[in-house]
């Protein structure tokens, strides 16, 4: 019987469309808060294996979370007390020596070839002249950006603590809205998502730290005076898959070349290329055995979308969020595969033969066989 579209159906579709648009607009206005919440969830998931390990040693969850937070604060305080002054000193020295490094770079044949065709120096001088006229505005922008960054970090850490303490009860409360026969399935699915995201973040941080350590030791051995700042830059950009380490390598090799000469620059480039092969062939497969594996096209699209929505933070959160979505998609695919799988009839199982077989699809004009 043909279904007729009534005015009520039209109004229901229109109301749902308006509600969806309102929800999208609201999320767009709250995109900074949404990115902070996602960052706090990723941080909580990354710390969850440590919390679980402490709980296996008969610590209650609250005490385990407190130990993890105190350890994180102690590590942060140690970095601030020891590394930050050295990084600031090296960064200032790098900025002060930038004109000399640029002058050395101008004398090289590759730079002169590019400058003749692109006018790199002219563009740099024009940009500096334009920025010098309104230096107060950028200074205020930088100050406000730093303040927002500090507030964001504090907010993310506090939300991560609350997620570790009360996230489980919130998730169990959300399961109460599911049908009883589906709660165990969604609980198992949530555990899979939590494991995938947490292991991915820890694995990526480990690989990025190894890359920063390798390039930091290399630049230190080559006599580059900015080795610590370059190592931290390599580590931070290494958290962004594919393009992050490549961008950091360009900066590290360029500064090494300008500071210590052609031979040192080629050595730094060679070390980076060798390390990339080791990372791709050894480190990444070991890490990916315990984390998620995604198609490079999906990774590229997720990175672009995350960067466009929330900048660097979005690029860092893009793959964990995409990994959680991938777990959901894989679960839907498994359900569809079970639903569409053909039924294999066993011997004497004619009554269970699936619809659409030769027995059930005879010609309507053919008379039915008489019972024997």
* Per-residue model confidence as pLDDT tens for the chain (372 residues): 456 777 777 888 888 899 989 988 888 888 778 878 877 887 887 788 788 888 888 888 888 888 888 887 787 776 666 666 766 776 676 677 667 766 776 677 776 777 676 666 666 666 555 554 444 455 555 556 666 777 777 888 888 888 888 887 888 888 888 888 888 888 888 887 777 777 777 778 888 888 889 988 998 898 887 788 788 888 888 877 767 788 888 888 888 887 787 888 889 899 999 988 888 777 777 766 666 666 667 777 777 777 777 666 677 777 777 777 877 888 888 878 877 866 555 555 554 444 444 444 444 444 444 443
What angle in degrees, to the nearest 10, is found between the helix axes of 136-175 and 61-78?
160
Nearest to 165 by CA among 68, 74, 76: 68
Distance CA 356, CA 340 (A): 13
Residues 6+ apart with CB under 8 A from 251: 230, 233
What's the predicted TM-score (pTM) here? 0.58
Distance CA 241, CA 208 (A): 9
DSSP-assigned letter for residue 286 = H
Outline where the chain has alpha helix (H). 7-29, 31-56, 61-78, 84-96, 98-106, 109-118, 120-133, 136-175, 183-221, 227-238, 243-260, 262-278, 284-288, 296-340
Distance CA 293, CA 89 (A): 40
Where exactly are the structural domains of the chain?
32-118+148-338
Distance CA 208, CA 237 (A): 8
């Amino acid at each position: 019987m043909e279904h007729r579209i009534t005015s009520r159906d039209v109004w229901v579709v229109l109301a749902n469309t308006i509600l969806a648009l309102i929800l999208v607009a609201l999320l767009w206005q709250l995109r900074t808060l949404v990115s902070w919440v996602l960052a706090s969830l990723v941080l909580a998931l990354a710390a969850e294996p440590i919390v679980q390990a402490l709980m296996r040693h008969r610590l209650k969850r609250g005490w385990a979370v407190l130990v993890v937070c105190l350890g994180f604060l102690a590590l942060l305080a140690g970095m601030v007390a020891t590394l930050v002054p050295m990084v600031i000193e090296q960064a200032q020295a790098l900025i002060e020596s930038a004109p000399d490094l640029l002058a050395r770079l101008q004398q090289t044949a590759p730079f002169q070839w590019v400058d003749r065709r692109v006018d790199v120096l002219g563009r740099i001088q024009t940009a500096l002249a334009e920025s010098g006229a309104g230096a107060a505005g950028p200074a205020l922008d930088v100050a406000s950006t730093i303040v927002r960054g500090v507030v964001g970090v504090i907010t993310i850490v506090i939300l991560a603590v609350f997620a570790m303490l009360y996230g489980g009860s919130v998730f169990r409360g959300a399961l109460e809205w599911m049908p009883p026969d589906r709660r165990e399935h969604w609980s198992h699915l949530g555990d899979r998502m939590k494991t995938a995201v947490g292991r991915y973040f820890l694995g990526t941080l480990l690989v990025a730290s190894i890359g920063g350590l390798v390039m930091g030791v290399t630049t230190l051995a080559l006599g580059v005076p900015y080795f610590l700042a370059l190592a931290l830059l390599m580590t931070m950009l290494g958290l962004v898959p594919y393009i992050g380490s490549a961008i950091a390598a360009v900066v590290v090799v360029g500064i090494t070349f300008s500071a210590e000469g052609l031979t040192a620059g080629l050595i730094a480039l060679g070390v980076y290329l060798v390390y990339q092969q080791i990372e791709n062939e050894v480190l990444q497969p070991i890490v990916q055995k315990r984390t998620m594996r995604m198609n490079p096209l999906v990774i590229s699209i997720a990175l672009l979308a995350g960067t466009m929505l929330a900048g660097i933070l979005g690029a860092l959160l893009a793959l964990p969020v995409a990994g959680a979505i991938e777990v959901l998609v894989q679960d839907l695919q498994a359900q569809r595969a079970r639903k569409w799988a053909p039924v294999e009839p066993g011997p004497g199982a004619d009554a269970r033969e699936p619809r659409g077989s030769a027995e059930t699809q005879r010609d309507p004009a053919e008379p039915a066989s008489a019972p024997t």
